[in-house]
């Protein structure tokens, strides 16, 4: 059974069908990618999978459970974490505090505990800080824990988003265009870090428009074009698919 499954997933905004009857499976332990030209519906599919949008029809299944239209906090609580195409950090907070926010989705402390600072709550806060440092170290940001997020480079802010998502201890990590805006060297380092995350036992599902980045990283690749899935297979199979080549490069005019 797939860890995540999109089953005939469809969403319509007025007269626009942004995602059209998409079937897709993300197998446990793999790195799966969803690619396509700009406007293909990739991020919309991600938003459907994580509860930002509710589908017009079709289902999102996680471990066989229908999570279609469930709120994001509920989906995160099941073990799904994500980053966003547009960076969403608390830039006025430190690097460490940004990641600790991700940890608090697993916290047992309520508002009473936070106010009274009971011993058990203090111990939990210590554990949260340790987990946050582990996530920062994984992404190479532990030396910058006390800097404000706004002072990080663009590539570092991307990595901080991944660290924050990792802090919630997910089983499935969704990355929305993680390499966007990065230079070649930053992309190489990011590939190494994503592979390290997979080695920790996580399943990864990512959206990208950078085909070269995806092909060197993924086990499976699906391709969207105008909201329709036009290919699904290994990177080698997808690279030579005529429909994919046409979607990216345009059809030859005879």
Write down the pTM of the prediction. 0.88
Domain boundary among the residues 148, 168, 188 is at 168
Same-domain status, 160 and 220 = no
Same domain, 153 and 180: no
CATH of the domain at 213: 3.40.50.300
The predicted structure's pLDDT at residue 109: 54
What is the C-alpha separation between 37 and 48, in angstroms, rounded?
Answer: 19
Query: What does the pLDDT look like over 80-101, one tens digit per residue?
Result: 999 988 888 998 999 999 999 8
Report yes or no on 85 lying in a domain.
Answer: no
Do 119 and 183 sit in the same domain of this protein?
Answer: no
| Judgement on whether residues 157 and 184 belong to the same structural domain of the protein | no
Residue 104 and residue 64 share a domain: no
Together in a domain, 68 and 182: yes
Choose the final residue of a domain: 168, 194, 215: 168
Instruction: Specify if 221 maps to a domain.
Output: yes
Q: Check whether residue 164 and residue 178 sit in a common domain.
A: no
Q: How many domains is the chain built from?
A: 2
| Residues 177, 132 within the same domain | no
- Asked if 232 and 176 sit in the same domain, the reply is yes
Per residue in 192-230, pLDDT (tens digit) is 999 999 999 999 999 988 888 999 899 999 999 999 999
DSSP E strands in the chain: the ranges are 4-13, 16-26, 31-35, 57-62, 65-66, 80-82, 172-176, 203-208, 220-225, 228-233
Is there a single domain that holds both residue 115 and residue 179?
A: no
Give the C-alpha separation, 31 to 202, whole Å: 9
Two structure tokens written together for 65? 């459970």
Residue 239 located in a structural domain: yes
In terms of domains, do 252 and 186 share one? yes
Q: 110, 138, 168 — which closes off a domain?
A: 168
187 and 148 in a common domain: no
Q: Is residue 57 part of a domain?
A: yes
Is residue 84 in some structural domain?
Answer: no
Q: Is residue 232 part of a domain?
A: yes
Instruction: Check residue 210 and give its pLDDT.
Output: 85
Contact call for residues 18 and 38 (beta carbons, < 8 A) = no
In a domain, 208, yes or no: yes
What's the rounded Cα separation, in Å, for the pair 62 and 23? 14
Which range of residues forms the domain containing residue 150? 90-168
- Stretches where the chain sits below pLDDT 50 are 110-112, 114-115, 253-254
């Amino acid at each position: 059974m797939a860890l995540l499954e999109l089953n005939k997933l469809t969403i319509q905004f007025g007269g626009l069908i942004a995602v059209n009857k998409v079937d897709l499976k993300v197998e446990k332990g793999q790195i799966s990618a969803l690619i396509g030209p700009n406007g293909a519906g990739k991020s919309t599919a991600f938003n459907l999978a994580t509860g930002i949008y509710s589908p017009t029809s079709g289902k999102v299944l996680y471990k066989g459970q229908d999570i279609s239209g469930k709120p994001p906090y509920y989906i995160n609580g099941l073990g799904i974490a994500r980053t966003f195409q547009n960076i969403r950090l608390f830039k006025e907070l430190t690097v460490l505090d940004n990641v600790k926010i991700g940890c608090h989705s697993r916290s047992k402390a309520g508002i009473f505990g936070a106010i009274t600072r009971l011993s058990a709550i203090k111990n939990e806060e210590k554990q949260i800080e340790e987990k946050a440092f582990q996530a920062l170290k994984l992404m190479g940001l532990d030396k910058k824990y006390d800097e404000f997020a706004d002072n990080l480079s663009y590539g570092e802010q991307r990595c901080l988003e991944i660290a924050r998502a990792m802090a919630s201890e997910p089983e499935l990590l969704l990355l929305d265009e993680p390499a966007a805006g990065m230079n070649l060297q930053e992309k190489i380092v990011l590939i190494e870090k994503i592979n390290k995350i997979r080695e920790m036992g996580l399943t990864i599902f990512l959206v990208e428009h950078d085909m070269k980045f995806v092909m060197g990283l993924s086990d499976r690749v699906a391709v969207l074009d105008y909201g329709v899935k036009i290919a699904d297979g290994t990177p080698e199979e997808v690279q030579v698919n005529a429909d994919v080549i046409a979607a990216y490069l345009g059809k030859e005019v005879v």
